[in-house]
Homo-oligomer: A and B are copies of this chain.
Amino acid sequence: MLPKTTPAALTLDDVAQRAGVSPMTVSNVINGKQGVRDATRQRVLDAIAETGYRVNPMARTLAGGRNRIIGVLTPQMNQPYASEVVQGAVGAAQRLDYALIVMMSGSADFSVMTQLSAGVLLIQPPSEGHPLRTHLPPHVVSVDGPSEYPCMVDNYGGACLAIQHLLGLGHTRIGFISGLQAEPSVIAEAGAAQSGQRNDAHERFRGYRESLASAGLQLLPEYVQHGDFTKESGAATAQRLLQLPHPPTALFVSGDAMALGAIHMAQDLGLHVPKDLSVVGFDDLPLAAAARPALTTVRQPLQQMGAVGIELLVALAEHRPVALPAPFPTTLIHRESTASPV
């Protein structure tokens, strides 16, 4: 059982008294300031160790010091994508000796996090009307979304990887289940994508389209569907695709959960995966490896992206120069859900 009483909060003065110096000196020691005699420093350090003193981050922040807290804002805790990114962020924060606090987008006011932390990492930042726009944190970097310093995966390259894998297997009828997108139709917007207005959906579609083209294949509009990244939408869109008079023999699905939904739907329709239908996902979430058949998918280095995000944030907080992060490379993970067509 845990003890019940909060140990009366220690202050700088307590430590100072114990060490026989002024509070200021203790502060200086803690912050590694130059010009403290070694003997003094040691005495202070000892006092800190003996008392178990910890600086109060609130007071520290208020007084204008750095607080070594960085925040992560994530849409939902139980979204595997975000979990992976956070996992990477945790590791990096630990390495850099920063505390990491995470908040869900919904939970309370974002301004709290702004005021609590020296910088915040946005995971899939909400688009336009979000309150985020009013109370902005000191530093923002984002994973998979817009910000000053976006950490994005190479969506185009990833899509190419997927399609080329399928092409290499001998598939010629390849469907595409895209993720949600602001624009009414990916196809209609194909042109716009060229003009700089890039997002995940656009880029992946561009990879699909161009890979098909360079293999001399025609893009069939009815082979392109839109889901919303849920398993259910994967199943629903797959059903539409598979009930086409001339159904695809392979599917590139813009998300692992949707891909799983597609596979289950195919099975319900009496198809064998991968014998009758090959499916490639996107993300490589833990569930991709755990599924049966295990999912062939395009891997995003999500943990790495989270880690890099934190590193940027810390650099920013410490006023070190930072470069714009380059797109992160994808990898094709070949598992059991793809094979040559019969």
Contacts and interface: CB of A to CB of B under 8 A. Distances in A.
A167 interface: no
Contacts of A137: 6
B69 A78 contact: no
A62 B52 contact: no
A56 B58 CA distance: 10
Interface stretch (A20-28, A95-103, A204-212): A95-103
A286 B76 CA distance: 14
B290 A109 contact: no
Interface string A129-170: 000111111101000001110000000000000000000000
A1 interface: yes
A307 interface: no
A60 B57 CA distance: 13
B101 A116 contact: yes
- For the complex, would chain A's binding face be called helix, strand, loop or mixed by DSSP majority? mixed
A159 B132 CA distance: 46
A114 B103 CA distance: 16
B86 A77 contact: yes
B112 A99 contact: yes
Interface string A102-126: 1110111101111110000000010
A5 B37 CA distance: 41
A71 B116 CA distance: 13
Contacts of A100: 103-104, 107-108
A4 interface: yes
Nearest to A10: B135
Interface string A64-107: 00001101000011101001101100100110011111111011
Interface string A33-45: 0000000000000
A90 B104 contact: yes
Contacts of A231: 290
A140 B292 CA distance: 41
Interface in A158-187: none
A198 interface: no
B56 A7 contact: no
A9 B2 CA distance: 40
A287 interface: yes
Contacts of A135: 7, 52, 54
27 contacts: A2-B147, A3-B136, A4-B136, A6-B136, A7-B134, A7-B135, A52-B134, A52-B135, A54-B112, A57-B115, A57-B116, A58-B59, A69-B112, A76-B87, A77-B77, A77-B86, A78-B80, A78-B87, A86-B104, A90-B104, A90-B106, A90-B107, A99-B103, A99-B108, A231-B290, A260-B290, A287-B287
Given A2-B133, A7-B135, A99-B112, 12 more contacts: A2-B125, A2-B140, A4-B148, A52-B134, A54-B135, A56-B115, A58-B59, A78-B86, A90-B106, A101-B102, A287-B287, A287-B290
